Amino acid sequence: MAGPARQCRHEVLQVDISRYAKEAGRSPPSDEQRQAAATTKRSSRPNNQSEGKGASTISPYTFPAPLMLPDDLLALNDDEPPQSMLSWLRARNPVTQTRKTIYVVRTPSVDARVSFIKTWTVPTTATSSKLKTLEPPRLADVSAYLEAFYYPLLVKTLPQDVSFVSWETTEQAKPQKGRKKPASMPAYVGLKIGDGVTRIRSRPCPDGVFGGQLNLNDLLDGALHVLPADAYAILLLVDHDLYEDDEDDFCCGRAYGGSRVCIVSSSRYHPALDTLDYYIDGGIDLAHMWPASHCQSFVEGVCSLHEPRPPTKKRKRTQKKPKPKVSADDVPAGLDVSSTPMGAALRAVQPLSDSAQELHGLWFSRVARTVSHELGHCFCLGHCAYYACVMQGTTSVAEDLRQPPYLCPVCLAKVAHALMGITPNTGDTEQAYAVQRYQALMEFCQGWLHVGMFAGFHAWLQKRVQMLSAGASASSPICLD
Ligand SMILES: [Zn+2]
Ligand SMILES: [Zn+2]
Ligand SMILES: [Zn+2]
């Protein structure tokens, strides 16, 4: 595993891009570029004039820079310009009074004639009965999270029954007696939603982690056919492993943003996969998932694996303090890092236990973040490079797990623009909307404080709301038009 994973106390907060990225000549957008990106005006000047001279800057202790670790998407490729508010305005599908519901499709049940694909949802690497029978993320929990994340939109379950059925109508599709699996894997299964059936390609799983995979484009087509008239977007959540084309090994999620349909698979987030050798190359470190991914010791550890010389700086660690204070490099005078949103999030992290309840929560937290990301594409949000942000693109599951669940100020400005005022009493300013949305998310996280990501997110939200309520305009999450 990458970095000093065990017993790390996460004492120093990394709010800047990694040393690796700096040495590779990478840099995040400047404050001016970030503020220009969050405004609806053509001028590059920030539109928050109340702070007097100069630009009001966003605190990195609330919204740190993307980490840009080796092999992260932004470290590999920064050629694509990030999407500004203005370019989003040109691309978006407006939410309207007649189209303001997010639909989620039930996880498909499995018809007896294709019962062999039931086994495809259990990783071949799950050796203990606890892992084999671990409850996957529940649709109701995913819906509740989305309802807070995309406040104030309603999230409804599509009423139709959904199941995987046989695509073949010939005798060969009938299960042979005593066998769960046909002699050879059929090339197709059917996705039945209501009365319609869509043909879904299947194939063996290239890395053997699951018994088989389903084609995500075919599944998205199936969901697209049942998009209700009042739907803003539709989400299909599946437990099966997915692939997009012949080239890829697997794919966790995809959105057809313009068509407002997206799909997420929970399969690769299964905790039984966390210790696979091939994932370790990708750097999964269970002690350093967000918010602990912003632990400087971890970031330095990962960077040092990608260069011949060791890190130049070593931090002393104090012992036996249950709640260490969090510090950071170049802290402004008088700032207590522990009391900032990111400092508080880092302090909220507890060591992971392997109880079934915690593993289920861990699995769900990963899916919740990816679902909010893919639905973000349905709101026409592009991949983000402005800050660490849930809308960052990723190249691996390990990178997914290092990313925050929150929207950065630029992406939040877009969502606020889309959603404020869509129902009465959602605030008549972006800031008022943001506070209501944060409170809805805080309420959700309250029920999941035994899970690291939600505990960290709750602490972050609490500090954020305190700052906004105290009128901390110097670090306002959004530019006020
Ligand atoms: Zn750490
Ligand atoms: Zn994406
Ligand atoms: Zn963003």
CA distance 253 to 312: 39
Please give the mean pLDDT across all residues of the chain: 84
Which ligand sits closest to the CA of 9? Answer: 1
Helices 341-348 + 452-469 axis angle, to 10: 150
Residues near 332 by Cβ (< 8 Å), separated by ≥ 6? Answer: none
The string of DSSP letters for 272-295 reads: GGTT-HHHHHHT--GGGSTTGGGB
Whether 443 has a pLDDT exceeding 50, the answer reads: yes
Residue entry with tokens 């807070």: 148
The 10s digit of each residue's pLDDT in 196-248 is 999 999 999 999 999 999 999 999 999 998 999 999 999 999 999 999 998 88
Which ligand sits closest to the CA of 83? Answer: 3
What is the reported pLDDT for 370?
Answer: 97
Which ligand sits closest to the CA of 409? Answer: 3
Q: Separation of 134 CA from ligand 2 center, angstroms?
A: 27
Q: In terms of Cα–Cα distance, which of 473, 449, 345 is closest to 15?
A: 345
Which ligand sits closest to the CA of 7? Answer: 1
Whether 423 has a pLDDT exceeding 80, the answer reads: yes
Q: Separation of 113 CA from ligand 3 center, angstroms?
A: 45
Whether 270 has a pLDDT exceeding 90, the answer reads: yes
Q: Which of 36-40, 172-176, 177-181, 337-341 has the highest mean pLDDT?
A: 337-341
Q: Separation of 408 CA from ligand 3 center, angstroms?
A: 4
Task: Examine the predicted complex and report whether its ipTM is higher than 0.90.
Answer: yes
CA distance 370 to 254: 10
Q: Separation of 293 CA from ligand 1 center, angstroms?
A: 7
What is the reported pLDDT for 47?
Answer: 41
Which ligand sits closest to the CA of 82? Answer: 3
CA atoms within 13 A on the CB side of 331: 16
CA 414 to chain centre: 17
Residue count (the chain): 481
Which conformational region is residue 217 in: left (phi greater than 0), alpha (psi within -120 to 50 degrees), or beta?
alpha
Q: Separation of 29 CA from ligand 2 center, angstroms?
A: 19
Which ligand sits closest to the CA of 382? Answer: 2
H or E segment to which residue 213 belongs: strand 213-215
pLDDT band at 358 (very low <50, low <70, confident <90, very high): very high
Those residues whose beta carbon sits under 5 angstroms from the ion ligand 3 are: 384, 389, 391, 408, 411
Tell me the average pLDDT across 153-182: 73
CA distance 175 to 408: 51
Whether 179 has a pLDDT exceeding 90, the answer reads: no
Burial-class residue 459 by CB neighbours within 10 Å (0-12, 13-18, 19+). Answer: buried
Q: Separation of 141 CA from ligand 2 center, angstroms?
A: 21
Q: Where in the chain are the domains?
A: 12-81+292-348+396-415+441-475, 101-273
Cβ-contact 17, 68 below 8 angstroms: yes
The 10s digit of each residue's pLDDT in 88-138 is 998 888 999 999 999 999 999 999 999 999 999 999 988 888 999 999 999
Cβ-contact 389, 411 below 8 angstroms: yes
H runs (alpha helix) in 195-307 = 216-224, 277-282, 296-304
Q: Separation of 392 CA from ligand 3 center, angstroms?
A: 7
Q: Separation of 93 CA from ligand 3 center, angstroms?
A: 18
